[in-house]
Amino acid sequence: MSNEVADLNGVDGRLLALAGSPSQYIKLNVGGALYQTTISTLTKHDSMLRAMFSGRMEILTDSDGWVLIDRNGKHFGTILNFLRDGYVPLPECRVETAEILAEAKYYLIQRRIPEIHDLVQLCQNWLKVITKEDIEPAGICKVPLVNTKKDCDRIVTSTTKPVIKLLINRHNNKYSYTSQSDDNLMKNLELFDRLVTRFNDRVLFVKGNCPSCFFLYS
């Protein structure tokens, strides 16, 4: 395959209708971010880029032969990878995914094959998945409260993480244990909270209503 680069030097600020061989490389300046790729990649799927680089639309270039596209170039690499492979992994950040969605809509990245999602649909589906997690304040730790052994067993079997469960017995008189019951209870609760804060990403913590003690499931 030839690595020939389209010679667009000396055409600063001019609008050109470009059509070249599929293996020809194009230099792209997208909002100041520089990319190089082939005409084959740019015209692979039905999009505005295909119209631009198949001769149907005029393009603007600078004096060094870079094709100018007036968009933020932050996610243009993701656009190119989707054009190449038909799929891209999307970030877990809702804001960045929304930015990619906006670029996909601008470039009209779509597929005519019903079984394969276009990039717009891919972003929209992913946003639905991460919306709940993303809108919650950072640093929030969730601790399920279980009231039955069945609920506890269901949680334990549904996760691959180790499980630490704090059980609090609310049925017996607290002084039937020891005169320091209040202090011991507070120490257990404080320890549990510290563990949750520190290891929440690696361990699933659960609270229940049984004797006050820790259980570890691994």
Q: For residue 68, which of 6, 3, 13, 7 has the smallest C-alpha distance?
A: 13
Q: What is the pLDDT of residues 19-68, one digit of tens each?
A: 567 788 999 999 999 999 999 998 888 888 888 887 788 888 888 989 99
DSSP SS3 for 42: helix
Q: What is the pLDDT of residues 141-185, one digit of tens each?
A: 778 888 777 777 777 777 778 888 887 766 666 555 667 777 887
Choose the CATH number for 15-135 among 3.40.50.2000, 3.30.710.10, 3.40.1440.10, 3.40.50.1820: 3.30.710.10
Overall pTM surpassing 0.95 (yes/no)? no
Confidence of residue 100 (pLDDT cuts 50, 70, 90): very high
- C-alpha angle with apex 46: 43 to 48, nearest 5 degrees? 75
Q: Residue 40 in contact with residue 23, Cβ under 8 Å?
A: yes
CA dist., res. 137 & res. 89, Å (int): 24
Q: Does 101 score more than 80 pLDDT?
A: yes
Residues found in the chain: 218
DSSP SS3 for 181: helix
CA dist., res. 42 & res. 112, Å (int): 16
* Spans of all domains in the chain: 15-135, 145-217
Question: Is the fold of 15-135 the same as that of 145-217?
Answer: no
What fold characterizes domain 145-217? Glutaredoxin (3.40.30)
